[in-house]
Every structure is written in C-alpha cells, then in structure tokens.
Amino acid sequence: MSTITTTDGVKIFYKDWGAGQPIVFSHGWPLSADDWDAQMMFFLHHGYRVIAHDRRGHGRSDQPATGNDMDHWVEDLAALTEQLNLRDAIHIGHSTGCGEVARYVARHPARVAKAVLVASLTPNMYRSEGNPSGQAPEWFEAIRAGMLGNRAEFYRFVPENPFYGYNREGAKPSEAVIANWWRQGMAGGALSHYATVDSWLEDYTEDLKKITVPVLVMHGEADQIVPFASTVPRALNLLKNGSLKTYPGYPHGMLTTHADVLNPDLLSFIRS
C-alpha cells in the first residue's frame, strides 16, 4: 500500500493514479478514498492524475487516539501534497472533506489552481440565530448516540435513509451502494468517527474568506444531511470567486447516485 508518515507518526494511505494535472479528493464521514472511485476512474480516463487519501482514523490509514480533528487532517493533506510535489492542483471535497479542502486551500494557496465543495458543511451547518436552517443540537447528539450504540446497525441506517435519499417517496434503494457505504465506514475507527462530529460544529467562515482561487459549490436541493439553505447562500457570499451548481431532488451522496451527471459538470468547471 502507498502511505506517507506524518510528523506525529501516523501512516496515511493514499491512491495515486495517472499523470497530468493533479486532482485531489477529500472524502466525507465516515468513508474513505474508495468513495471517490467513480470520479477517479472518470478523470483518469480524461488525462488527469488523481489522488485520494484515507483521512487519519478512516479506511486503511492508522487509527491514532489523538489528532482526530480538522487541523490535523489539513496538515496531513498538506504533508501528502508536499511529498507528492503536487502543483496547480484541483482540490475536490465532499461533506466533511469540504472543511478539509477549504482550510487547506486557505492555508496553502500556492499549490492550488481551483477547488470544488460538494454537499459542503462550510461555513457551518449547525442551527443558530443566524442560521435557522442548520441542524439542531439534537441531530448531532443523535449521531454521537448512534456510534456509541450499535455502530454496525447505525452504519446501515444512515445510507439506507438520509445519506442517499432512499427514505424519500419513490426512491429505489441500491443494496450494493448501501453495503459499500457500510464497508467503508466499518473499516474506519470508532474514535475518529465520533470525534468527527466536533468538526461539524466548527465555523469555516474565515477559511472561505481567505480563498481567492475559483471555487465551484455543488449542492443537492434535497440534501438531508447538510440542508441546502443551511450553508450554500452564506458560502457564496463569503467566497471571492465562487460559483454555484444546484441539483433539484439530489441527495447528500449525489456523487455516487448521480455520478453520470456530476462528473461531466466537474470536468466542465476544471477545464473552464
């Protein structure tokens, strides 16, 4: 397996395929680099170098007891891009991975050409007076409770219901998609997955303000994890060079359920 070792001794697994301009993918909770397979294969066949890593505590990376927070994840990503000597890269994040991308781009702009935030939690996804469409405190506590209970059952419930919108009327659930989500989640560490909830309660406003490269925001209007109104309007106001692509009826996990639509849209933005 391809790995790097961080300054605090954590091995980070990554995939690195192809040649050409690099595209770096940051996955969501509680998944791994495998969640980007549809995008990596697509862009590989369009002449790009594609890189995706398993965040520490996820997938095939080490599961340390410490450092399971956004700042460490960003520094791990920075270490990876430095070791691979990536320049002029496009960074694409999904969900929690968007917090990683936003903070990385804000702190390491010299290596970045463009960024994409898909179903992003930025600038923040929690409910407040200024963000009445955000998720309530009880929602975050329910996630924590699910992981402290029967994690294996909880990791079936999430993809069977809100993540892919399979709980909506007329939806046609895919057992293979659900099982693949479960497989990725159970390969990761319970401690790091539990700690990830703290990153959902962070505010990424200052990170978005610092970004000057072109950023595409992509969001499904039927997202039940990060409701459209909870993040998208404010993100666009904060980004200096942001644009928006919306998808009526699409769920949080639309990169999987609608890869045939999103992949060409991503390619169009990257080539623009």
For residue 244, what are the β-bridge partners?
217
> Any catalytic annotation for residue 16?
no
Q: How far apart are CA 256 and CA 252, in angstroms?
A: 9
Contact (Cβ atoms closer than 8 angstroms) between residue 267 and residue 43: yes
Q: Indicate if 252 belongs to the active site.
A: yes
Q: Please list the residues that pair with 94 across neighbouring strands.
A: 118
DSSP H or E segment with residue 220? strand 215-220
Which residue among the candidates 35, 193, 223, 230 is catalytic per the annotation?
223
**Of these residues, 58, 72, 219, 252, which one is catalytic?**
252
Choose, from 26, 32, 95, 199, the residue flagged as catalytic: 95
158 vs 33: CA distance, rounded Å: 19
Active site (annotated) includes residue 54: no
Helix extents (H) in the chain: 37-44, 70-83, 96-107, 137-148, 151-160, 175-187, 190-200, 205-210, 228-238, 254-257, 259-271
Q: How many CB atoms lie within 10 A of CB 187?
A: 17
The 10 Å CB-count burial string (b at 16+, else e) for 64-99 is beebbebebbbbbbbbbbeebebeebbbbbbbbbbb
Which positions are catalytic?
A: 95, 223, 252
